[in-house]
Structure 1
Amino acid sequence: MIYEGKSLTVSVADDGFAELVFDAEGSVNKFDRQTVQELDDAAAKMASHGGIKGVLVRSAKPVFIVGADITEFTDLFSKSDEEILAWVGKTSQVFDHFEDLPFPSIAAINGFALGGGCEMTLACDLRVADTTARIGLPEVKLGLMPGFGGTVRLPRIIGSDNALEWMTTGKDRDGQKALNEGAVDAVVAPEKLREAAMAMLKDAAAGKIDWQARRKAKTSALKLNKNEAMMSFSTAQALIAAQAGKHYPAPHMMVETVKNAATQDRAGALKLENEGFVKLAKTDAAQAQIGIFLADQLVKSKGKKRAKAAKQQVKMNAVLGAGIMGGGIAYQSAAKGIPVVMKDINQSALDLGLSEAAKILHKGMEKGKVTPKKMAATLNAITPTLEYSALKDADMVIEAVVENAKVKASVLKETEQAVGEDAIICSNTSTISINQLAESLDKPERFCGMHFFNPVHRMPLVEIIRGKDTSEDTINTVVATTMKMGKTPIVVNDCPGFLVNRVLFPYFAGFSKLMLDGADFVAVDKVMEKDFGWPMGPAYLLDVVGIDTADHAAGVMAEGIPERMQKIENDPVALQYRAERLGQKNQKGFYNYSTDKRGRPTKTAADEAYTLMADHVGETRDFDKEEIIARLMVPMANEAIRCLEEGIVDSAAEADMALLYGLGFPPFRGGIFRWIETIGLDKFVEMADKYAELGPIYQVTDGVREMAANGKSYFA
Structure 2
Amino acid sequence: MPVNYEIRDGIAILTLHNPPVNGLGIATRRGLVESLDRACDDDAVKGVVVTGGARAFSGGADIREFNRPEASQEPTLPTVITAFEASPKPVVAAIEGMALGGGLELALGMHHRIAASGAQIGLPEVKLGLLPGAGGTQRFPRAVGLETAVNMIVSGTPVAASRLADTRLFDAVVEEGVLDAAIALCREVAESGATLPRVRDWTIEHPDAEGFLGFARNGVAAASAHYPAPLKCMDAIEAAVKRDFEAGLAVEREAFAQLLASDESRALRHAFFSERAAGKVAGLDASVVPRSIDAVGIVGAGTMGGGIAMNFLNAGIPVTLLELGQEALDRGLATIRRNYENSARKGKLTAEQVEARMALLTPTLSYDDLAHADLVVEAVFEEMGVKEAVFGRLDDLAKPGAILASNTSTLDVDRIAQFTRRPSDVLGTHFFSPANVMKLLEVVRGKATAPDVLATVMALARRIGKTAVVSGVCDGFIGNRMIEQYSRQAGFLLEEGALPQQVDRAMEAFGMAMGPFRMGDLAGNDIGWAIRKRRAVDSPEITYSRTADLLCEMGRFGQKTGAGWYDYAPGDRTARPSPVVDAMIEAYSAEQGITRRRIDDQEIVERLVYALVNEGALILEEGIAAKASDIDVVYLTGYGFPVWRGGPMFHADTVGLYNVLRSMRRFAKGLHGDAWEPSPLLVELAETGRSFN
Instruction: Give the TM-score taking structure 1 as reference length.
Output: 0.90
Q: What are the Cα deviations for residues 132-155 of structure 1, in whole angstroms up to 9, with x where unaligned?
A: 411111111111111111111111
* Separation in structure 1 between the aligned mates of residue 8 and residue 75 of structure 2, nearest angstrom: 33
**1:97 equivalent in structure 2:** 83
Q: What are the Cα deviations for residues 617-662 of structure 1, in whole angstroms up to 9, with x where unaligned?
A: 4777653332121011111111111000100011112111122122
Query: Is 2:601 the partner of 1:625?
Result: yes
Partner of 1:463, secondary structure, is strand
Deviation at 1:208, TM superposition (A): 11
Deviation at 1:241, TM superposition (A): 1.8
Deviation at 1:567, TM superposition (A): 2.9
* Separation in structure 2 between the aligned mates of residue 201 and residue 304 of structure 1, nearest angstrom: 51
* Separation in structure 1 between the aligned mates of residue 567 and residue 290 of structure 2, nearest angstrom: 51
| Residue from 567, 573, 580 that aligns with 2:544 | 567
Partner of 2:14, secondary structure, is strand
* Separation in structure 2 between the aligned mates of residue 602 and residue 516 of structure 1, nearest angstrom: 25
Asked if the contact 1:157/1:218 (under 8 Å) is kept, the reply is: no
Please tell me the residue identity of whatever aligns with 2:584: L
**1:152 equivalent in structure 2:** 138
Partner of 2:430, secondary structure, is strand
More displaced stretch, 144-153 vs 357-366:
357-366
**1:19 equivalent in structure 2:** 13
* Separation in structure 1 between the aligned mates of residue 121 and residue 266 of structure 2, nearest angstrom: 25
**2:182 equivalent in structure 1:** 197
* Separation in structure 2 between the aligned mates of residue 147 and residue 513 of structure 1, nearest angstrom: 48
Please tell me the residue identity of whatever aligns with 1:695: G
Root-mean-square deviation over aligned CA pairs? 2.7
Query: Is 2:370 the partner of 1:391?
Result: yes
Please tell me the residue identity of whatever aligns with 2:616: A
**1:242 equivalent in structure 2:** 222
* Separation in structure 2 between the aligned mates of residue 483 and residue 635 of structure 1, nearest angstrom: 31
| Residue from 60, 71, 91 that aligns with 1:67 | 60
More displaced stretch, 670-679 vs 470-479:
470-479
Deviation at 1:676, TM superposition (A): 1.1
Distance 1:261 1:396, change over 3 A: same
Distance 1:305 1:135, change over 3 A: farther
Please tell me the residue identity of whatever aligns with 1:8: V
Query: Is 2:210 the partner of 1:230?
Result: yes
Deviation at 1:484, TM superposition (A): 2.7
Q: What are the Cα deviations for residues 659-708 of structure 1, in whole angstroms up to 9, with x where unaligned?
A: 21221221111112111111111111112111123334333122211111
Partner of 2:395, secondary structure, is helix
**1:81 equivalent in structure 2:** none
Partner of 1:534, secondary structure, is coil
Gaps of 5+ in 2: none
Asked if the contact 2:23/2:60 (under 8 Å) is kept, the reply is: yes
Distance 1:336 1:308, change over 3 A: farther
Asked if the contact 1:295/1:657 (under 8 Å) is kept, the reply is: yes
Query: Is 2:102 the partner of 1:116?
Result: yes
Asked if the contact 1:328/1:356 (under 8 Å) is kept, the reply is: no
Partner of 1:55, secondary structure, is strand
Query: Is 2:239 the partner of 1:218?
Result: no
Deviation at 1:49, TM superposition (A): 4.6
Please tell me the residue identity of whatever aligns with 1:711: G
| Residue from 292, 301, 306 that aligns with 2:271 | 292
* Separation in structure 2 between the aligned mates of residue 167 and residue 473 of structure 1, nearest angstrom: 42
Please tell me the residue identity of whatever aligns with 1:91: L
**1:355 equivalent in structure 2:** 334
* Separation in structure 2 between the aligned mates of residue 520 and residue 158 of structure 1, nearest angstrom: 53
| Residue from 467, 472, 481 that aligns with 1:488 | 467
Q: What are the Cα deviations for residues 496-537 of structure 1, in whole angstroms up to 9, with x where unaligned?
A: 00111001111111111112222132222222122x211111
| Residue from 564, 577, 595 that aligns with 1:589 | 564
Q: What are the Cα deviations for residues 583-622 of structure 1, in whole angstroms up to 9, with x where unaligned?
A: 22233222334478xxx85333334432433312477765
* Separation in structure 1 between the aligned mates of residue 421 and residue 172 of structure 2, nearest angstrom: 63
| Residue from 462, 473, 494 that aligns with 1:515 | 494
Please tell me the residue identity of whatever aligns with 1:335: N
Gaps of 5+ in 1: 1-5, 78-83
Deviation at 1:548, TM superposition (A): 1.0
Please tell me the residue identity of whatever aligns with 1:653: S
Please tell me the residue identity of whatever aligns with 1:41: E
Asked if the contact 1:581/1:589 (under 8 Å) is kept, the reply is: yes
**1:3 equivalent in structure 2:** none
Q: What are the Cα deviations for residues 165-191 of structure 1, in whole angstroms up to 9, with x where unaligned?
A: 11121111112123256543432123x
Q: What are the Cα deviations for residues 394-421 of structure 1, in whole angstroms up to 9, with x where unaligned?
A: 2221111111122222222222223223
| Residue from 581, 586, 595 that aligns with 1:609 | 581
| Residue from 483, 498, 505 that aligns with 1:526 | 505
Asked if the contact 1:306/1:480 (under 8 Å) is kept, the reply is: no
Distance 1:304 1:172, change over 3 A: farther
Q: What are the Cα deviations for residues 570-590 of structure 1, in whole angstroms up to 9, with x where unaligned?
A: 22x223222222222233222
Partner of 2:66, secondary structure, is helix
* Separation in structure 2 between the aligned mates of residue 619 and residue 157 of structure 1, nearest angstrom: 67
More displaced stretch, 358-367 vs 644-653:
358-367
Query: Is 2:311 the partner of 1:332?
Result: yes
* Separation in structure 2 between the aligned mates of residue 229 and residue 391 of structure 1, nearest angstrom: 63
* Separation in structure 1 between the aligned mates of residue 532 and residue 31 of structure 2, nearest angstrom: 59
* Separation in structure 1 between the aligned mates of residue 555 and residue 579 of structure 2, nearest angstrom: 15
Instruction: State how 1:271-290 maps to structure 2 within 5 Å.
Output: 271-290=250-269
**2:667 equivalent in structure 1:** 691
Please tell me the residue identity of whatever aligns with 1:199: A
**2:236 equivalent in structure 1:** 257
More displaced stretch, 414-423 vs 301-310:
301-310
Asked if the contact 1:306/1:476 (under 8 Å) is kept, the reply is: no
More displaced stretch, 446-455 vs 86-95:
86-95
Instruction: State how 1:294-313 maps to structure 2 within 5 Å.
Output: 294-302=273-281, 309-313=288-292
Please tell me the residue identity of whatever aligns with 2:3: L
Q: What are the Cα deviations for residues 238-294 of structure 1, in whole angstroms up to 9, with x where unaligned?
A: 11122221x211111111122234322222211111111110111111111111122
**2:126 equivalent in structure 1:** 140
Please tell me the residue identity of whatever aligns with 2:224: A
Asked if the contact 1:466/1:491 (under 8 Å) is kept, the reply is: yes
| Residue from 625, 634, 651 that aligns with 1:675 | 651
Partner of 1:582, secondary structure, is coil
Asked if the contact 1:221/1:266 (under 8 Å) is kept, the reply is: no
Deviation at 1:122, TM superposition (A): 1.4
Asked if the contact 2:59/2:102 (under 8 Å) is kept, the reply is: yes
**1:80 equivalent in structure 2:** none
**2:34 equivalent in structure 1:** 41
Query: Is 2:432 the partner of 1:453?
Result: yes
Partner of 1:262, secondary structure, is helix
Please tell me the residue identity of whatever aligns with 1:604: R
**1:642 equivalent in structure 2:** 618
**1:8 equivalent in structure 2:** 3
Distance 1:59 1:589, change over 3 A: same
* Separation in structure 2 between the aligned mates of residue 108 and residue 305 of structure 1, nearest angstrom: 39
Asked if the contact 2:299/2:379 (under 8 Å) is kept, the reply is: yes
Deviation at 1:205, TM superposition (A): 4.4
**2:247 equivalent in structure 1:** 268
Report how many aligned residue pairs link the two structures: 687
Distance 1:459 1:558, change over 3 A: farther
Partner of 2:437, secondary structure, is coil
Please tell me the residue identity of whatever aligns with 1:187: V
Distance 1:133 1:45, change over 3 A: same
Please tell me the residue identity of whatever aligns with 1:413: G
Deviation at 1:334, TM superposition (A): 1.7
Deviation at 1:388, TM superposition (A): 1.4
Partner of 1:616, secondary structure, is helix
Asked if the contact 2:115/2:161 (under 8 Å) is kept, the reply is: yes
Distance 1:428 1:306, change over 3 A: farther
Deviation at 1:13, TM superposition (A): 4.5
More displaced stretch, 159-168 vs 138-147:
159-168
Partner of 1:614, secondary structure, is helix
